[in-house]
Chains A and B, each alone.
Chain A
Amino acid sequence: MDNYLKYLGRQAALGRLSRREFMGRAAAVGLTAPLAASLLSSSVKAAGPQRGGHLKCGLEGGASTDVLDPAKYTSQFCFMTGRNFGDTLVETHPTSGEALPALAESWEASPDAKVWTFKIRQGVQFHNGKELTIDDVIATLHRHSDEQSQSGALGIMKTVSDIKKDGGDLVISLEDGNADLPLLLSDYHLVIQPDGGVDDPNAGIGTGPYKVASFEPGVRATFERNPNDWRDDRGFAETVEMLVINDATARTAALSSNQVHFINRVDPKTVDLLKRAPHVTIQNTSGRGHYVFIMHCDKEPFANNDLRLALKYAMDRETMVEKILRGFGKAGNDFPINETYALFPEDIEQRGYDPDKAAFHFKKSGHDGSVLLRTSEVAFPGAVDAAVLYQESCKKAGIDIEIKREPGDGYWSNVWNAQPFCTSYWGGRPTQDQMYTTAYYSKADWNDTKFFRTDFDKLLIEARAELDQPKRKDMYREMALMVRDEGGLILPMFNDFINATTNKVDGYVHDIGNDMSNGYAATRLWLTS
C-alpha cells in the first residue's frame, strides 16, 4: 500500500491526478483525510520532477540484429527505444491497466463493438516538423495489418477488416466485435510514424519525448529531448543514453559503480546482494509474464484429464516461487491470468500442492510408468532447476518424472509447441481476451497445450464483443475454470519484473503493463540533483 500511495502522490505531483482524485483514492485504501492531505503536500514537494541531465540505462536484450523499425521489435532494447521516440494511439494505466488517451484523444464503439471511432489529437508534431495527421495514423495501421507484413503486431491486427477516415475521425471496423480494441492499439509495435513509416521504416521519427540522436545496433542508442513534445509530464532528462549490457554481472557492476542509473533484468539469484548497496533500489513489479509446464491435451498420455490433474496437484508452487524466483513473483493457479488484468476472477480457489490428490488422480488415470518432461535453460531462467524440483515434488505423489534436457538452440522450433510435455514461458498480453486468443483458442498457431474446445471458443468470441462489464467478467471466470480444470496448462508462477535504479534518479513508476515501467522508464525517470 505504501508504494501505491507513493505512486498516487507522484501522479498528483505530476498533475496526472487531481487533488480530488488523490483524496478519493487515498480514502479508498483507508487513509483519513488529514493524513492524505499531508501526504499529498509532502509528495508534491519531494517528488517534483526535475528537468535536465544525462540519463544512462544499461539494458539486457539488445543485439546487433536490432532495428529502429517498430514493426520488427523483439528485444527489450528496441521496446524501450520505441517508447522513447514514439507514441501509440492509446496508452495503459500503470496500475489499473485501463486504456488512457494518447495520440487518440477519445474513442467510442458501436453497440456490437465492431466499429470504433477514434478522435485523433490535433497540434502534435513529428520530430521532423511535420504535423501529425490522420493519414499518418491510417498508413501506420495499414503497414502493420498488411498480409505480407512481418510486424510483431500482425496477430492483433488480423481481426481488423477496414481502416478509414470519416470526417476527420479514424474509423476502424472489425470482423468480429472486440471490446478491447483500444487496449490492443497500445501494443508497442504500433508506434505512429509519418506516412506510416512506409518510405523509411527505420527512420526513427515519431512524436515521442525524445528524438533519436544515434542508434548503433547491439551497442547503444542516444536520444535528445524533444522540445516540441505535446506532453509536459515526461521526458525529463535532456539526453538519454541506452547501453546494451547483456552480461548480467556486467550490468550489475555498471549500476553498482554508478555508471548507469537504471538496469533491467536483475538476476533473482543475486538480487539480495545487489540490495545491500546503499545507493541501489530494486524496483520489482508484478507482471503478467508466467513460467509454464505445458501438456498437449490431444496426445497420449496427456489426453487423459486425470493425468493432467495429477500433474497439476503435484506441482509445489510456493517452493517454485521461493526457489526459482527467490520470492520475486506469485504462485499461479493454472490459468494464464492474474490480478493485474482487468476483470480478473478473484474468487477462484488457489490450487495448492496436494500429493494425495495427485496420487489419487494418477491412479485413476491408469497411466503406467514415467512421464517424460523436456526442458532447457532457454525455456525460462532456472527452467532446468524447476524441472528437477518438480521431479522431487512428483515423487512424493508416486509419479515418476523423467527429465530430458534439450539444447537451447532450436528449442522454440523443435520442442515447444511440438513435443507433448515441456517447460516454457509466456509474456503477458494487454487483455484477457488477447491471452486466451493467442494460446488457448482452437485455431491459434500458438495453442501450445492443444486445447481444442468449441464451447471455450464460443465463449471467448462472445466475451470479446461484450460491452457489459459484469457479464463479461462472469464469462472470463467460466473460461478460467475451463483452462484450470480441464486444460493442459500447469502454471506454477507469475514472475515479477525486476529492475533497479540508483539514488541519483527518481520517478520510477511501477507499471503492470510490461517490463521496465512498460518501456517508459527513460521517459518517466528524472535525475535528482
Chain B
Amino acid sequence: MVQDSGPAEKGRQPQGSLAAGLSGPPPANDGGAPKPGGAGLSGLRHRMPLATLLIQRLGLSALLLLAVSVVVFLGIEALPGDFAQTYLGQSATPQAVANIRAELGLDRPAVTRYFEWLGGVVQGDFGNSWASGNSVTEQIGLRLGNTLFLAFWAALVSVPLAVGLGMLAVHFRNRWPDRLINVVSLGAISLPEFFVGYILILFVAVQGGWVTFPSTVYADMPFGQRLEAIILPCATLVLVVLAHMMRMTRAAILNVMSSPYIETAELKGLDTLRIIARHAAPNAVAPIITVVALNLAYLVVGVVVVEVVFVYPGMGQYMVDAVTVRDMPVVQACGLIFAAVYILLNMSADILSILANPRLRHPR
C-alpha cells in the first residue's frame, strides 16, 4: 500500500519499477540541457528538478500518513470487541468494562475520538498506552531502537553480500559457482523464516551451544552482549532477504551486459570483473537500489515472526500485543512509524536512482 507512491510518479518515467529498470534504453547521455524559462511550478521543476521532486514527495507523504492513520483507526474499530472487553478477556464483568470505558472515553463517538487523538499527534503527543498507562513515545523509543539495531546489522551484512554474490554470479554465469549461489539463496528464501529460525536454534543454540538464546535485549545491555544476542535473528534475516537482492543484481547486470557498449569494452580487451564493476553496475544500479530499499523496509517492518521466534523485543511484537487488546494509541503510533519508514525508504530509492542516472531528471 505504502510503497506505491501514486501521483508523485506523474510526469516522469516510472524508473522505480523493476520492469523499467530492466528494459531501459541504452546508456548514452542524450538528455540535453534543461530548457530555460517556463513560469510557476514547471519552471521550478526545470531549474531545480530534484528539490521540486523532494518537496512534492514530502507533501504527498504527509497526506499518505494521514490516510494510513484513518485506515488503521477504522481497522481497529472494525475488529470485534473494544479495548475494555478484549483487555479484560474472559474476566470482563459489565462493571469493570464500564469503568474502563468511562475512564478512556470509549463511550463517545469514534469521530470525536479520532480527532482528539489527531490533535495530540499534531502537537507531538502520541498519548499514553491504554493498557499500561505509560507514555507511548517512551516505549516506542526503546522498541524502535531495538528494531533498527537488528535491521541495521542485518542490512550491513546482507546488502554487500547480496550485491557481491550477484556480481560473482554474473562473472561465472551459467557455471557451477553461479548455480551454487542460486540454489543456496533460493533455498533459503523458499523456507519460511520461522523454520529457518528454528533450524538455526536447534543446531547452533541447542545442540551446539555456541550462541546465546533467547535473543532478548534490554535497555542497559552492553554493546558486545547485544551484538552476540542478535547473531541468530540477524543470520535468519540475512538468509531470508539475500536471494531477492542477489537475483535482482544478477538480472540487472546481465541485462546491461548484453548491450553493445559492453561488447565494445570487451573488444577493447578489459577483463570481465572490471567491466562488471566499472561499466555495467552503474547502469544497473536503479533496479538494485529499489529492491534493496524494499528489503530494508521489510527488515524494519516485516520481521514480527523472527522477533517472536527469537524472543527479540522489537516493534512488531509490540504492535501485535497492542492490536490484540485494541490499544489504539500504540497501534496508531506503530502504524505511522512503519508507514513513514516505508515511504522514506522508497523515496530515497527513487532519489538515489535519479542521482545515479541523470537521464531520469528530465521527464519527457
Contact = CB atoms under 8 A, between A and B. Distances in A.
B310 interface: yes
A249 B198 contact: yes
A256 B203 CA distance: 12
Interface string B141-181: 01100000000000000000000000000000000000000
Interface string B6-23: 000000000000000000
B187 interface: no
Interface stretch (A318-326, A407-415, A462-470, A480-488): A407-415
B132 A64 contact: yes
A217 B219 contact: no
A245 B214 contact: yes
B218 to A, nearest CB: 6
Contacts of B308: 246-247, 250
Nearest to B324: A63
A337 interface: no
A74 B327 contact: no
Contacts of B201: 249-250, 253
A410 B96 contact: no
A331 to B, nearest CB: 23
B205 A257 contact: yes
A253 B213 contact: yes
A64 B139 contact: yes
A250 B317 CA distance: 15
Interface residues of B, number: 51
B336 interface: no
Nearest to B211: A257
Interface in A377-432: 407, 409-410, 412-414, 416, 424-425
A216 B317 contact: no
Interface string B76-97: 0001110001111111111110
A65 B214 contact: no
A198 interface: no
Interface in A224-270: 243-247, 249-250, 253-254, 256-259
A250 B310 contact: yes
B334 to A, nearest CB: 11
Nearest to B146: A219
Contacts of A413: 80-81, 85-86, 92
A250 B232 CA distance: 13
A155 B93 CA distance: 9
Nearest to A62: B321
Nearest to B97: A413
A247 B309 contact: yes
Interface in B298-336: 308-311, 313, 317-318, 321-322, 324-325, 327, 330
Contact of B205 (A202, A218, A253): A253
Given A63-B324, A217-B132, A245-B311, A148 B214 contact: no
Contacts of B322: 64-65
A308 interface: no
B357 interface: no
A216 B132 CA distance: 11
A467 B308 CA distance: 51
B212 interface: yes
A410 B80 contact: yes
B93 A410 contact: no
Size category of the binding interface on chain A: 35 or more
B216 interface: yes
B156 to A, nearest CB: 24
A445 interface: yes
Contacts of A219: 216, 218, 313
B259 interface: no
A289 interface: no
Give the most central of A64, A217, A220: most B CB within 10 Å.
Answer: A64
A439 to B, nearest CB: 11
A244 B90 CA distance: 22
Given A214-B218, A407-B80, A256 B206 contact: yes
Q: Which applies to chain A's interface (DSSP): helix, strand, loop or mixed? A: loop
Query: Dominant SS at the B interface?
Result: helix
B358 interface: no
Question: Which of A65, A148, A407, A412 is most buried by chain B, counting CB atoms within 10 A of its CB?
Answer: A65
Contacts of A63: 321, 324-325
B350 to A, nearest CB: 34
B85 A67 contact: no
A58 B310 CA distance: 13
Contact of A259 (B79, B213, B321): B213
Contacts of A250: 201, 213-214, 308-311
B99 interface: yes
A58 B213 CA distance: 11
Contact of B313 (A154, A218, A257): A218
Given A243-B311, A410-B80, A150 B202 contact: no
A152 interface: yes
Nearest to A247: B308
A47 B209 CA distance: 30
A354 interface: no
B94 A259 contact: no
A169 interface: no
A416 B92 CA distance: 11
Contact of A67 (B86, B132, B317): B132
A150 B90 contact: no
B262 interface: no
A216 B218 contact: yes
Nearest to B94: A445
B313 A216 contact: yes
Nearest to A446: B93
A253 B96 contact: no
Contact of B327 (A65, A214, A243, A245): A65
Contacts of B99: 148-150
Contacts of A416: 90
B77 to A, nearest CB: 13
Contacts of B360: none
A457 interface: no
A61 B133 CA distance: 19
A410 B83 CA distance: 11
Nearest to B206: A257
B214 A216 contact: no
B318 A220 contact: no
B272 to A, nearest CB: 46
A66 interface: yes
B92 A412 contact: yes
A140 to B, nearest CB: 19
B137 interface: no
Given A220-B216, A409-B81, A445-B94, A244 B311 contact: yes
Contact of B100 (A65, A67, A150, A244): A150
B129 A249 contact: no
Give me the 7 closest cross-chain CB pairs, A-B, nearest first: A410-B80, A65-B131, A219-B313, A413-B81, A413-B85, A63-B321, A410-B81
Interface of B: 79-81, 85-96, 99-100, 103, 129, 131-134, 139, 142-143, 198, 201-202, 205-206, 209, 212-214, 216, 218-219, 308-311, 313, 317-318, 321-322, 324-325, 327, 330
Given A74-B88, A202-B133, A243-B216, 15 more contacts: A65-B87, A67-B132, A216-B313, A217-B134, A245-B214, A250-B310, A257-B206, A259-B212, A410-B86, A412-B86, A413-B92, A416-B90, A424-B90, A425-B90, A446-B93
29 contacts: A64-B139, A67-B131, A67-B132, A150-B99, A154-B93, A216-B142, A216-B218, A217-B134, A218-B317, A218-B321, A219-B313, A220-B218, A243-B214, A243-B216, A243-B311, A244-B216, A247-B308, A249-B309, A253-B202, A257-B205, A258-B209, A410-B85, A410-B86, A412-B85, A412-B92, A413-B92, A425-B90, A445-B93, A445-B94
